[in-house]
Structure formats: structure tokens, C-alpha cells
Structure 1
């Protein structure tokens, strides 16, 4: 029997998800959490096979719940649910080590398939999201084929994409914060980007970080 945890602060959403899950005789909803702190406590106690976690929850959001589950080395696979189709959220989710991402509007038709994939330890993203990533990739590749970062710039970009601050990047690379800022600004100028989110997406495309 596969155990599934549902974490969402809306009772109607939890009920709907439970109804879909319970159509499978070999799956059971072994717990429901109404906020991020409850989700972590139940995950630690039950060690479910799957945790279906709403991205936007009080106390601790779904992204932080996912990070905690990973840091505690639980074997639980996380499926993030969100109402918003956001590149930034998807990037954050991937960097947190989450391999399942589903829009709430798609849950009725895709939840079973998503849970099955994660139970087999396969990633799951709907085709709409994959198409969006591909579009962004092609768009950002345009006129950038000749961009070359120095090895130090690549190292700085990688660490920033992994979530390090300028200060912690400096500690890892034995550089001053000012030097890190200089390399970061140089890399962003070469790539023609202006935000950390874009820098993270570049790092994913360039395979500077593992998903």
C-alpha cells in the first residue's frame, strides 16, 4: 500500500485530491496537513511515499517543505501543486530537488499519472510546462551562441544558481564579495540578462547544475 501525504490549507482542495487518490485501491491518504509546519511534522512521522504539497501555504511554503524533506534525507517524492504557471516558481522547484510539478487546474486529469511517475522515481511535468521551458530555451539561445564565460564566471554562476549568496560564493571560491559581484555582473552582461531567475535558467540550460 502506497502512502500519500496531502498538504494544502484549503479543505476543499484536500478533499478533491483525496477523492482522486482513493480511486486507486493500492494507494492511501495517510495524512493531511494544513500548513508547511504540519507537512514537515507528518512527513517525518509517516515517511510517506509521496507528498503532494501546495506551493503557497501559510507558515512555511511548499518550496521550503520540499527543501526540508530533502535535507532530512527522506525517500519521499514531492509533487508541488500551484495555481500559477510561473517560470520562476518552476525554476525554484527544480533547484529544490523536486521532480514533480502540477498546476491545480490539471490535477483532475493528471494527478494519477503524476503520482505513478513519482512512485517509479521518474520526474513529472505536464507538456504545457515543458513546452514553456523549451520556448524560453530557444528564445534565450538566440544571439547567444558565441557567449563565452570565463571559468571563474562559470563557477560564480553555478554557485549562485545553487542558491548561494555573494558572501557564501566568496567563501567557497576564496574571493572577496566585491570580486564575486564583479564576476557576477560580468557574466550577466555577457549573457544579456538582468535577474537572478534568468541566471538560474541559464545555469540549467548550460548544465552547470544538476537537476
Structure 2
């Protein structure tokens, strides 16, 4: 029996995804997790053939969770299904150990294709991301400053660049305002910038938003 773990803090998303999976894979057992602690608990308690996970979740960064899963269960593939566009997180997710990355607005048929490909031991990479990976390999230049950010710092950087306030980000990520302010300071320091306007310009210049 195929065993699939869905990780998303929105019940509506989990319900819709379960329906798709049950139609595509009749002989399937589906588990659910709502946050980082929950998914790590369930991966310790049971073995899964594939984990389909959102990136945004309460508590820890989804990218950090992917790394933890791969350290504990290196043979278990993780397919990211996220609201964030590919250009923002796909390459970073793949570097963290994910077997593929898809936006939540993807067609159902394409999602099923991606799941089957990942289950076969391959990675799912869209043509757009394949082009970006090729560019990264072919361009001999210094590493962009944003690549020096940790996964959580990068997540907060993107949210700031989209115009979110510190208090809004704290609420979204279920973290304290002081914690987010500390991350913001780290981001500004690492990117050698002074304020949020600089972050927005940088993100636009590097096609991150």
C-alpha cells in the first residue's frame, strides 16, 4: 500500500489534496500533519513513501523541516507544494533536499505526474526551473548575497520585500515580534542594506518577487 503524508496547516488544502490522491491512487494510505513538530513526530512514528509538504508553516521554516526529514530519512522523497512562485523558493528547496517543487495553482494532472515521477526515484523540475539551474551552472560569478541567508532569513527577507510589516510576519510565522526584528537586522546586515526599501529594490533586481 502506498503511504503518503500531507503537510499543510490549512484543513481545506489537506482535504482537497486528499481527494486528488484518492482518485489518482486508489490503494493509498494518507496521513496528515499541520506543522513542523507534527511532521517530525509522524516521520518518527511511521515510514512514508512520499511526503507532500507546504513551505509556510507555523514555527520553523519549511526548508529547515525538509533538511531535518532528509537527515532522518534520506530515502523518503519530499515534494514541495507551495503558494510561493517557483522563482522564489524552488532552487533553494531543491538544495535543501526536496525532490521537487510545485506551485499550488498547478493543474491536477501535472501534480499527479510529479508525484509519480518522484515516487520512481527521480526529481520533478519544471522547464522554468531547469533553465534557472542551467544559468546558475553556466554563470561564473560570485554567489549572490541572498544565497548567504539561512532558510528562515530568506523566508523573512521575501516577506519584507513584499511589503509585510514585522508584526504581520510575526503573526504569519507564529513567532515573536522581537524575533522577527532580530532576523530583519541579520538580513539587512548580510545583504549590506539599510532599510526595507533597499530590500525591495534588491528583490526586484534579482527577480525574487
1:69 matched to which residue of 2? 69
Greater Cα offset, 88-97 or 1-10:
88-97
Unmatched segments (≥5 aa) in structure 1:
145-190, 200-211
Q: Helix, strand or coil for the counterpart of 1:5? A: strand
Higher relative contact order (CA 8 A, sep 6+): 2
Q: Spell out the pairing of 1:191-206 with structure 2 (5 A cutoff).
A: 191=141, 194-197=144-147
Alpha-carbon distance between aligned partners in 1 of 2:23 and 2:85, rounded to the nearest angstrom:
27
The Cα of 1:126 is off from its aligned counterpart by: 2.2
Does the 8 Å contact 2:55/2:80 carry over to 1?
yes
Count residues with an aligned counterpart: 149
Does the 8 Å contact 1:77/1:118 carry over to 2?
yes
Unmatched segments (≥5 aa) in structure 2:
150-209
Larger Rg, first or second structure (1 or 2)? 1
The Cα of 1:39 is off from its aligned counterpart by: 0.9
Q: Spell out the pairing of 1:122-141 with structure 2 (5 A cutoff).
A: 122-134=122-134, 136-137=135-136, 141=139
Aligned-CA RMSD value: 2.5
The Cα of 1:25 is off from its aligned counterpart by: 4.0
- TM-score, normalization by structure 1: 0.62
Q: Spell out the pairing of 1:27-176 with structure 2 (5 A cutoff).
A: 27-106=27-106, 108-134=108-134, 136-137=135-136, 141=139, 144=140
Alpha-carbon distance between aligned partners in 2 of 1:53 and 1:74, rounded to the nearest angstrom:
16
The Cα of 1:133 is off from its aligned counterpart by: 3.9
Alpha-carbon distance between aligned partners in 2 of 1:125 and 1:115, rounded to the nearest angstrom:
12
The Cα of 1:194 is off from its aligned counterpart by: 4.4
Alpha-carbon distance between aligned partners in 2 of 1:44 and 1:101, rounded to the nearest angstrom:
24
1:4 matched to which residue of 2? 4
Alpha-carbon distance between aligned partners in 1 of 2:142 and 2:47, rounded to the nearest angstrom:
44
Alpha-carbon distance between aligned partners in 2 of 1:194 and 1:38, rounded to the nearest angstrom:
34
Alpha-carbon distance between aligned partners in 2 of 1:128 and 1:27, rounded to the nearest angstrom:
33
- TM-score, normalization by structure 2: 0.63
Cα gap change, 1:137/1:194 in structure 2, threshold over 3 Å: closer, same or farther? Answer: closer
Alpha-carbon distance between aligned partners in 1 of 2:143 and 2:75, rounded to the nearest angstrom:
36
